[in-house]
Structure 1
Amino acid sequence: MIAQHTTLTLHPATAQLLAQIRALEDTVAQLETDKAGCQYQIEQYYRLLRGQVGDLLTQLLAVQLQLAQRRAWQTGRRSDAEAARGWQERLDKTNQVIQDAIAHQPVDLAETAQHELKRLYRQAVTLAHPDRHAADPNRMAQATAFMMQLNDAYQRQDLPTVRRLVQDLTTGRLFLMQDDTAYSVDALQQWLQRLTDRQQALQAEIQQLKAESAYQYMTDGTDLTAHFARMHRELTQQLAQLQR
């Protein structure tokens, strides 16, 4: 985070901008945490979905592919051949997603570990968000790469990896943090505007994520056992109809 003591020796306009940036960084870090939490809920739903009905989905797509291939062979039309390729791509993607879900099951963390995970994530976002380093392309590229690793570990609930990343960041192993006095007023104003834009974008993204049915199923008290059982019955009926 921005060093508190540096404001004592800075120009008042610079100090005011830094104070605004500090407050907005905290807000953006919380929004980043909220967004990652929404994404985790959605991904968890789809992991459950693939575990409950993944085989049926694969079978359903395989039958759709067979029908599309037969139609393309019978008509010889280019549009039907493209449709068959589309079903093939969907089947391949579904198989890959199912395998990824099996290989990257998140770990259920205790409440205290959850608090630590969120705290470390917010700390890292505040320090290493690419917007903080936009004046230096090399530093910004490093920050972007770091955030990709951090977000992946956070969404997988991988607390040891998040700890390691934050440790590397705070000890300067990844890249040295720039001192506040190195920023001009113009640079700070641009930084503040980027944070404002990011805040608005995050708020819109979170609203969109919360509107997704997968998020609502995970958070509104839906009986997921009954939900997936009903989905299983419906997919079974669709598969039987296609096979006939």
Structure 2
Amino acid sequence: MTTTLAPLTEPWSPAEFEARLRAVGEARYHDRHPFNVRMHQGDLTRTEVRSWITNRFHYQRHIPVKDALITAKLDSPRLRRMWLRRIEDHDGRSEGEGGIERWLRLGEAAGLDRRTLLSGEDVLPGVRMAVDGYVNFCRLRPTLEAVAASLTELTAPDLMRRRIEAFERHYPWISAEGLGYFRTRVDQGRRDSTEALDLVLQWARTRTDQEKALAALSFKCDVLWSLLDAVQYAGRSEQAGGPGRLGQDDRREPK
């Protein structure tokens, strides 16, 4: 009689696995970072807001790059068409369209020069390292992990809604037209996260694969957290009297 041994560790059910993925975002997403908390409370100076816009743009402009790397890993036309839409969302179909363009308009609404944003000359070293780490992760890791890392989008729509409200309430010096990126990402983020979650639930059939997906999502949370660490540290240095010391016009907006 032949005895079939059960795996040492059974995979989680799809429902439990999904719950664990969502729990990573709930516990570790960068909406909990002190810098984001201060942003939503209206406690950032103009200089801090502009620094965040500048450095976050370095991340934004690399989103279609990492999505191109993921697209190249997909093994069916259907999946490639689905993922290519993400690139189009950010790059647009033509000049003057897409999420990258909308982020540039946010920068202009906040008083930043478009050419300076595009040059990347003011991007912090820590931000460069975080973004490079994420792009290389998507280049080098298997498809499951690269797609799982994108599941920070599960939490993004709620963050976008809070951000729109915070900017309208606390930072009226940024025109409403500059908030177009956030408004667009509410629906796009919900669609993207639903598609990616379905793929991860389909592909991660063993406990090992499920744990790799969770680790990938945790890594992505660390990337976003590290980006804000760099921006926050630079802001503290400036407020302490370091390079780029804040002027009187950069003090917090009255509430």
* TM-score after normalising by structure 1: 0.34
More helix by share: 1
